[in-house]
Structure 1
Amino acid sequence: MYDDYSEILTVQEMAELLKVGLNTAYNLVNSAEIESFRVGNSHRIQRSAITDYIIRKSTGSYRN
């Protein structure tokens, strides 16, 4: 009935997954480059939003 909630990450987990610093991770969610939602004062990110971000970045910025 419900999706797997392990697919919802904290900003810290997202930073570790993307191998970026915590400040960069917060910048990505605060600028809405990666879609998130709030639970109280905390951001939560669906894993699919991170995948979408990676796809957008990898297909839109190739240089020869």
Structure 2
Amino acid sequence: MDKSKEIFSEYSDIVTVDEVMKMLRLGKNTVYKLLKDGEIMNVKVGARYIIPKRSVIEFVSTTNRKS
């Protein structure tokens, strides 16, 4: 089984900016930059970001391959 799916199993399928901060242990500004730059797939509705958990998992997986 994919380790990142195990690690993030406590989170629902849609996560908030605060949850992404906890998942990735990053600051709020960094998470917002990743969202704005499209590094983590999201949908912006008004001022709110809708973030699928799988997009965070894909970001982690892709980042690991680049390293």
Scaled by the length of structure 1, what TM-score is found?
0.81
| Matches of 2:14 and 2:44, distance apart in 1 | 12
Q: Which structure: larger Rg?
A: 1
Provide the alpha-carbon RMSD of the alignment: 0.9
Structure 1 stretches of at least 4 aligned residues deviating more than 6 Å after TM superposition: none
Unaligned runs of 5+ in 1: 1-5
Q: TM-score, normalised by structure 2?
A: 0.77
1:49 to 55, 63, 67: 55
Cα distance in structure 2, aligned partners of 1:9 and 1:34: 12
Asked whether 1:16 is paired with 2:13, we answer no
What SS is found at the alignment partner of 2:18? helix
1:40 & 1:10 partners in 2: Cα distance?
Answer: 14
For structure 2, which runs of at least 5 residues remain unmatched after alignment?
Answer: 1-11
Moved more, 21-30 or 32-41: 32-41
Alignment-mate amino acid for residue 9 of structure 1: V
Percent of pairs with identical residues: 30
The amino acid that maps onto 1:55 is: S
Aligned length: 56
